[in-house]
């Protein structure tokens, strides 16, 4: 809803369970190519601030039941203009910090006939998928935008690989992680361990077998090279990285 008047947003806040203000891209210059009739700073960023303020206001009201207003969402059209994944990830992280963005959505660009961008190259679907994975790492795993700098290619794009696995392989010196001693942040660095399984590990320790980890939801085929269990490494990490990268 870029450009929506503030009074309408206030009325919507009484009935909606989330707001969606589509940023589409990462800058005013790029936005002018996609949506020439709107202003990025005023119609998008200002609206994101308004919706963020409305969410905070509703949550703070004692009469508020908790059933309405819970999230700020946005969408990016991936590949419509030339911005690299580095810019998208930095923008997403900035929105999370400034506007409490709950979730970004990504849509791979596919040119439409008789539009200004009809001759542009379509964006591969895998790029959309990798950006979703990166956004989950920002939201749920404690990653920062700068953490991805080590896995972008020279043009600032992600490769078609799982970004969490790439980060683990690039930072192999962080591993192995002892599942019986590691803190939650350390556990979340391990491929195959997510927020739920990390919590289960910490609640259940000590853990003595891979079977226990599997019952907690750990994907052992991914986690095995990066963990230590009962003082033993489960797989040689160097050999795994050589085959994975």
Looking at the predicted structure, is the pLDDT value of residue 65 above 60? no
Local confidence band at 242 (pLDDT 50, 70, 90 cut-offs): low
Q: Answer yes or no: do 84 and 135 share one domain.
A: yes
Q: Answer yes or no: do 191 and 122 share one domain.
A: no
Q: Answer yes or no: do 152 and 176 share one domain.
A: no
CATH, residue 150: 3.20.20.70
Residue 199 CB contacts under 8 Å (≥ 6 apart), including other chains: 184
- What is the pLDDT averaged over residues 221-236? 85
- pLDDT value at position 67? 54
Q: Establish if 143 belongs to a structural domain.
A: yes
- pLDDT value at position 48? 95
User: What residues make up the domain containing 231?
Assistant: 172-244
Domain's final residue, options 135, 160, 185: 160
- pLDDT value at position 96? 97
- pLDDT value at position 87? 98
- pLDDT value at position 240? 66
Domain count, the chain: 2
Q: Answer yes or no: do 140 and 180 share one domain.
A: no
Q: Answer yes or no: do 110 and 196 share one domain.
A: no
Q: Answer yes or no: do 12 and 41 share one domain.
A: yes
Q: Answer yes or no: do 155 and 229 share one domain.
A: no
Looking at the predicted structure, is the pLDDT value of residue 190 above 60? yes
pTM for this entry = 0.90
Q: Establish if 185 belongs to a structural domain.
A: yes
- pLDDT value at position 213? 97
Looking at the predicted structure, is the pLDDT value of residue 192 above 70? yes
Q: Establish if 167 belongs to a structural domain.
A: no
Q: Answer yes or no: do 146 and 189 share one domain.
A: no
- What is the pLDDT averaged over residues 31-51? 93
Looking at the predicted structure, is the pLDDT value of residue 62 above 80? no
Domain's final residue, options 160, 194, 226: 160
Q: Establish if 166 belongs to a structural domain.
A: no
Q: Tell me what the pLDDT averaged over the chain comes to.
A: 90
Least reliable range by pLDDT among 26-40, 115-129, 229-243: 229-243
Q: Answer yes or no: do 14 and 42 share one domain.
A: yes
Looking at the predicted structure, is the pLDDT value of residue 164 above 70? yes
Local confidence band at 230 (pLDDT 50, 70, 90 cut-offs): confident
Domain's final residue, options 160, 193, 215: 160
Local confidence band at 32 (pLDDT 50, 70, 90 cut-offs): very high
Local confidence band at 57 (pLDDT 50, 70, 90 cut-offs): confident
Q: 112 or 124, which is more confident?
A: 124
Q: Answer yes or no: do 116 and 214 share one domain.
A: no
Q: What is the pLDDT of residues 12-26, one digit of tens each?
A: 887 777 888 999 999
Q: Answer yes or no: do 30 and 146 share one domain.
A: yes
- pLDDT value at position 225? 93
Q: Establish if 1 belongs to a structural domain.
A: no
Looking at the predicted structure, is the pLDDT value of residue 228 above 80? yes
- pLDDT value at position 241? 65
Q: Answer yes or no: do 197 and 104 share one domain.
A: no
Local confidence band at 234 (pLDDT 50, 70, 90 cut-offs): low
- What is the pLDDT averaged over residues 80-86? 93
């Amino acid at each position: 809803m870029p450009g929506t008047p503030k009074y309408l947003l206030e009325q919507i806040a009484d009935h909606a369970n989330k707001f969606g203000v589509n940023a589409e891209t990462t800058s005013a210059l790029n936005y002018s190519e996609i949506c020439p009739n709107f202003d990025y700073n005023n119609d998008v960023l200002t609206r994101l601030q308004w919706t963020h303020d409305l969410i905070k206001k509703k949550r703070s009201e004692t009469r508020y039941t908790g059933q309405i207003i819970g999230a700020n969402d946005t969408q990016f059209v991936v590949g419509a203009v030339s911005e690299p994944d580095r810019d998208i990830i930095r923008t997403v992280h900035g929105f999370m910090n400034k506007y409490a963005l709950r979730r970004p959505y990504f849509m791979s660009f596919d040119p439409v006939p008789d539009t200004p961008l009809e001759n542009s190259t379509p964006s591969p679907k895998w790029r959309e998928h990798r950006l979703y994975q990166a956004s989950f790492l920002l939201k749920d795993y404690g990653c920062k935008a700068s953490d991805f700098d080590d896995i972008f290619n020279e043009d600032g794009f992600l490769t078609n690989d799982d970004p969490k696995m790439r980060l683990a392989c690039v930072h192999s010196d962080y591993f192995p992680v002892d599942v019986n001693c590691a803190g939650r942040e350390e556990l979340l660095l391990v491929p195959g361990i997510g927020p739920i399984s990390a919590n289960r590990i910490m609640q259940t320790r000590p853990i003595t077998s891979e079977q226990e980890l599997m019952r907690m939801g750990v994907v052992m085929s991914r986690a095995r090279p990066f963990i230590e269990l009962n003082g033993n490494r489960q797989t040689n990490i160097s050999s795994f990285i050589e085959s994975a990268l």
